[in-house]
Amino acid sequence: MRDPRDFDSFYLGTAPRVTSQLYAMVGNRADAEDIVQEAYARAWQHWDRVSGYDSPEAWVRTIAFRIAVSTWRKAVNRLRAYRRHGAPDSLPGADPDYVAIVAALRRITPEQRRTVVLYHLVGLSVAEIATETGVAVGTVRARLTRGRQALVPHLSEYAAELSAPEPEVAHHG
Amino acid sequence: MADRFEQALRAGSARFAMTTNMEQPRGVRARGDRRRRRRVAVVASVVVLAVAGLGGTAYAAGWTPGHTPAPAASASPSVPPSHRGSPTPSPSRTPDGGMSSRPGGDETDGAPALGPCDLTDLYDAKKVDGGVGGGHALTVVGVEYRGSAPCRLPDYPTLTGAYGGNEQTGVKRRTIPVGHGTWFDGGDTKRYGATAYPGHRMYFDLATTSADTGQEAQSYVNLAIVAADGTEIPIVLGGPVESTGGFSVSRWYATTG
């Protein structure tokens, strides 16, 4: 039996966070909000099952990312537009460093970007990312290392941190 | 200890989270309910297509996206079919137009009981037909039997396939976990448990789903049929098979059409 109060509580408590995480992945506020709301709608659609998961939030985030990838694939022109426009949409009051980071994230591959976001923003361990993304731990490490390296040319201010060897990025587990 | 990059990312994201424009929960639930109703309607329409025989392929006997029937589901008897004197059209449709859970067309041609076919005598396995609808897909696999004597079609095929394939793990091969189902294409042309004659073709159906089931899609390439002795007969499908709701196979059948 789906309990709407249970779902509403979950949605209100997690949606802003998931939206901000997805924004870091897609770089567009409106898209991030639309995709996340669609993902939560699907969560409600299957709430009797999803609510029993260890982390319904991880389920929503995974679905949201899949929707984002699907949207990219369907809208190649839009993807090209993303590439043409170097900077993300304007964020009134946003920290310039954050805007620069999101812009840089859009310049690396979606797999690397997802891994970097899950690791550095969501705070998952390498093993947890492997589980959430369905790839081997070694693949996660490779994507993380290469993703950080790929960010260096676009984030010179953080070049020292991003160029750090693997042990430096192993503190999550 | 988080580095400066991580600190900046998290701080910026936290500020962003405080300014998101979120829809009211009621609106999100309404959207989810609409999706739910739409899915029910799509599944219903596929069943209607199946009953009307218009879809070319159909789905029945308890197979729904995200749900794989148990191998011994009542939809498909796990015991060998009983023998009758002559082929008799089996009532695949119920009087009210619904689906019968019983596969149509069990028959043995009035011949003495034959042993099951040796699958190592199968050749030229390939996709011969297929159809999609409502987020489902059915692939018809045909195989030529080149044994020296007639034999009885076995029950369900066992399939293997290759999966994975990233830079760390490489491609792996395994038996594909499948459910057992029965689908018919609107006629009584399928003969389950029938006699296979040398040079004739025999078939089975492979059902998959592309609908969003909330599950990770499973994908296999280089599928093969596995014989009793472990011999693998490769199937030419022209690409990978992928499903978000598991895989199901029908019993082997011959056709009269």
Closest alpha carbon to B133 in B45, B216, B40, B35: B45
Cα–Cα distance for residue pair B136/B182, rounded to 1 Å: 14
What's the DSSP call for residue A119?
A: I
H/E segment holding residue A23: helix A4-26
For the segment B39-83, what is each residue's pLDDT rounded down to a tens digit? Answer: 666 665 555 555 444 444 444 443 443 333 333 333 333 333 333
Q: Which of A20, A34, A143, A155 would best serve as a mutation to test chain B binding (most B beta carbons within 10 A)?
A: A20
Q: How far is B137 from chain A (nearest CA, A)?
A: 20
Token pair belonging to B173? 């091969």
Question: Which residue in A has a C-alpha nearest to residue B3's C-alpha?
Answer: A161
Prediction ipTM score: 0.82
φ, ψ for residue B201, nearest 5 deg: -100, 150
User: For chain B, which residues lie within 8 Å of any Cβ of chain A, measuring from their own Cβ?
Assistant: 1-6, 8-23, 25-29, 31-33, 35-36, 39, 166-169, 212, 214, 216
pLDDT reading at B163 higher than 90: no
Partner residue facing B17 (CB), from A20, A101, A136? A20
Partner residue facing A120 (CB), from B6, B33, B167? B6
Contact state of B168 with A102 under an 8 Å Cβ cutoff: no
- Residues in chain B closer than 8 A to A6 (CB atoms): none
Token pair belonging to B100? 């019968």
- List per-residue pLDDT tens for chain A, 173 residues long: 788 999 999 999 999 999 999 999 888 888 889 999 999 999 999 999 999 988 899 999 999 988 887 766 555 545 554 554 444 555 555 677 888 899 999 899 989 999 999 999 999 999 999 988 889 999 999 999 999 999 999 998 888 888 876 544 545 65
Contact state of A41 with B35 under an 8 Å Cβ cutoff: yes
Question: DSSP string of B126-188?
Answer: EEEEEEEETTEEEEEEEEEE--SS-EE--S---EEEEEE--TTT-EEEEEPPEEE-----SSS
Residue B40: what pLDDT? 65
Residue B240: what pLDDT? 87
- Residues in chain B closer than 8 A to A43 (CB atoms): 32
Q: How far is A49 from chain B (nearest CA, A)?
A: 10
Partner residue facing A121 (CB), from B10, B18, B19? B10
- Quick check: helix, strand or coil at residue B206? strand
